Structure 1
Amino acid sequence: MDSPKRPINAHKAYHAHVYFDANTLDTAKHLYEKTQNTFSLKLGRIHERPVGPHTMWSYQVLFFDTDFDGFIPWLDEHRETLDVLVHASTGDDLADHTLYAYWLGNAVELDLRGF
């Protein structure tokens, strides 16, 4: 199996979706707080259920190309065992979650039927 694509700074805007489950909830909450205290980025709610195309519990972080070079290496270093989808935010949801989808850790299956 191919390795998932690593994030690249090739778009204007991005979402990062941090995935977790009941066993890693505390790790995810800790990362959420560290992100909030380290960066001036917009963080979404912590969802303890699958939402939209995300088949695991998650929360999102919205950021821009100007944040990418500082945020993505930091996120990769601090995510511990959590998997993270980083995707472009172009307005084309299907392309954003497929062609422009990048991963820190392992790829998580998405439910793309809604697109």
Structure 2
Amino acid sequence: MDTPVNSHADYHAHFYFDESSLVHAKALRKNISEELGFYVGNFNTKPVGPHPQWSFQASFTADDFEVFVPWCIEHRQGISVLLHAVTGDDLRDHTEYVQWLGAPITLDLSRF
């Protein structure tokens, strides 16, 4: 796995899970919010937007990158995590400005 590179001001991390990893995903989401203090979005148990699997999102900045990304690597336990820039160009953010922790998931880019 390539080491993610901090090259943007703002980011989202999307954590993908299924029934077998649901309990771990709930714990990750809670820890990201309560222990790390990052904003987390809804806990989606259906595809939402370009995300074809169950997921939740965390928002973080370039200043948080060096703490948050290693934390994700250590705690994801097999859950795939999409890291992408938030630049205002959703298509580029979800295609050119992506980095993966774990197995990449094919996104549904038709909405862009």
TM over 0.5: yes
Q: Deviations over 1:60-115 (max 9, x none)?
A: 00010000000000111000010000000000000000000110001001000010
TM-score, normalised to structure 2, is: 0.95
1:35 CA displacement: 1.4
Per the normalisation by structure 1, the TM-score is 0.93
Segments ≥4 residues shifted beyond 2 Å: none
Q: Distance in 2 between matches of 1:69 and 1:59?
A: 21
Percent identity among equivalent residues?
A: 46
Q: Pick the aligned partner of 2:93 from 83, 92, 96.
A: 96
Structure 1 unmatched runs, 5+? none
CA RMSD of aligned residues (A): 1.1
Distance 2:23 2:92 in 1: 32
Q: Pick closer, same or farther for the CA change 1:6–1:111 going to 2, 3 Å.
A: farther
Determine the structure 2 residue equivalent to 1:28: 25
Equivalent residues, number: 112
**Matches of 1:75 and 1:98, distance apart in 2:** 21
Q: 2:15 aligns with which of 2, 18, 22?
A: 18
2:88 and 2:39 map into 1 onto residues whose CA distance is 18
